[in-house]
């Protein structure tokens, strides 16, 4: 939902000035926001680092 709001808001700001390029930029920013939010959700729920030298890594804690 947040990415949609970013896209709509940026589209309203950028399209009147930049036309189709503004729409493309708004969409790209919205997609980046969505990707970052998904990375944060994965890290929070699975304790999985999605950005570690380009490869996913799983951190396991020793149960003791």
Which pLDDT belongs to residue 22? Answer: 95
Which pLDDT belongs to residue 64? Answer: 44
How far apart CA 64 and CA 57 sit, in angstroms, is: 22
Whole-model pTM: value is 0.68
How far apart CA 34 and CA 12 sit, in angstroms, is: 19
Give tens-digit pLDDT for 22-60.
999 999 999 988 988 888 888 888 877 666 545 455 555
Closest C-alpha to 2, from 32, 24, 42, 22: 32
Which pLDDT belongs to residue 16? Answer: 95
């Amino acid at each position: 939902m947040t990415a949609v709001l970013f896209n709509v808001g940026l589209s309203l700001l950028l399209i009147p000035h930049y036309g189709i390029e503004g729409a493309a930029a708004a969409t790209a920013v919205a997609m980046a926001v969505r990707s970052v939010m998904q990375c944060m959700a994965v890290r929070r729920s699975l304790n999985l680092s999605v950005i570690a030298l380009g490869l996913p890594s799983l951190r396991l804690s020793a149960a003791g």
